[in-house]
């Protein structure tokens, strides 16, 4: 399975993601943000970091990079798209996921390990993880507070699009939301960093379960 990792000015988790995906068994390439064609890839990962220095609003400038037109096209074809932290913010700005990510409730940058609950197995990202499983992985963000209007929240619940929730909400996100998919379940956005929890030397390898689930389902 071929995975592209997008690289924006300010990306800083791209090498972490590359290491994990390669180690698990994916074919992986770094793809600079000015690239316009992603047709040969089965999946695309938009990593964390501070694309364009988070000027104006997190992800607001990155959505205009040439590569994002192709990311949207591939998402509409049903390709697997993952946005982690800043990547989640970019996917929302690009209109691939609903809602918004605003400043944490305590207005501070938060960097710590958190616990997530798997809310559904009905996604390629969690199909091999039992519902209710608790995963441990880090967060590192200031704008990770997920909000949406009541209609959007109701639709996310109705369509089983809420994939992860925080066990102890660190940022004030509505419904404790830590990660969601689009209605077609091929686009995932999440604030926690599974790529930073995919090797036991890091204190947790729970993040591997997400990537292994994708690879297993794709076979």
Annotated catalytic residues are: 85, 193, 195
With helix as H, strand as E and coil as C, how does the chain read? CEEEEEECCCECCHHHHHHHHHHHCCEEEEEECCCCCCCCCCEEEECCECHHHHCCCCCCCHHHCHHHHHHHHHHHCCCEEEEECHHHHHHHHCCCCCCEEECCCCCCCEEEEEEEEECCCCCCCCCCCCCCCEEEEEEEECCCEEECCHHHHHHHHHCCCEEEEECCCCCCCHHHEEEEECCCCCEEEECCCHHHCCEHHHCECCCHHHHHHHHHHHC
């Amino acid at each position: 399975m071929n995975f592209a990792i997008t690289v924006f000015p300010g990306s800083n988790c791209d090498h972490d993601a590359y290491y994990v995906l390669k180690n698990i068994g994916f074919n992986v390439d770094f793809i600079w943000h000015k690239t316009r064609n992603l047709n040969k890839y089965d999946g695309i990962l938009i990593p964390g970091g501070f694309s364009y220095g988070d000027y104006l609003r997190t992800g607001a400038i990155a959505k205009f990079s040439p590569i994002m037109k192709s990311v949207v096209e591939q998402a509409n074809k049903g390709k697997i798209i993952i946005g982690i932290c800043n990547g989640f913010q970019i996917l929302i700005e690009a209109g691939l996921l609903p809602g918004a990510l605003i400043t944490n409730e305590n207005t501070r940058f938060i960097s710590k390990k958190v616990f997530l609950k798997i809310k559904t197995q009905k996604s390629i990202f969690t199909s091999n993880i039992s519902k209710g499983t608790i995963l441990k992985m880090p967060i590192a963000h200031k704008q990770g507070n997920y909000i949406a209007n009541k209609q959007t929240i109701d639709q996310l619940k109705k369509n089983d699009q809420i994939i992860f929730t925080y066990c102890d909400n660190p940022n004030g996100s509505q419904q404790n939301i830590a990660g969601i998919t689009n209605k077609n379940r091929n686009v995932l956005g999440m604030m926690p960093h599974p790529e930073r929890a995919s090797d036991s030397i890091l204190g947790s390898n729970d993040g591997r379960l997400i990537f292994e689930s994708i690879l297993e389902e794709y076979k």
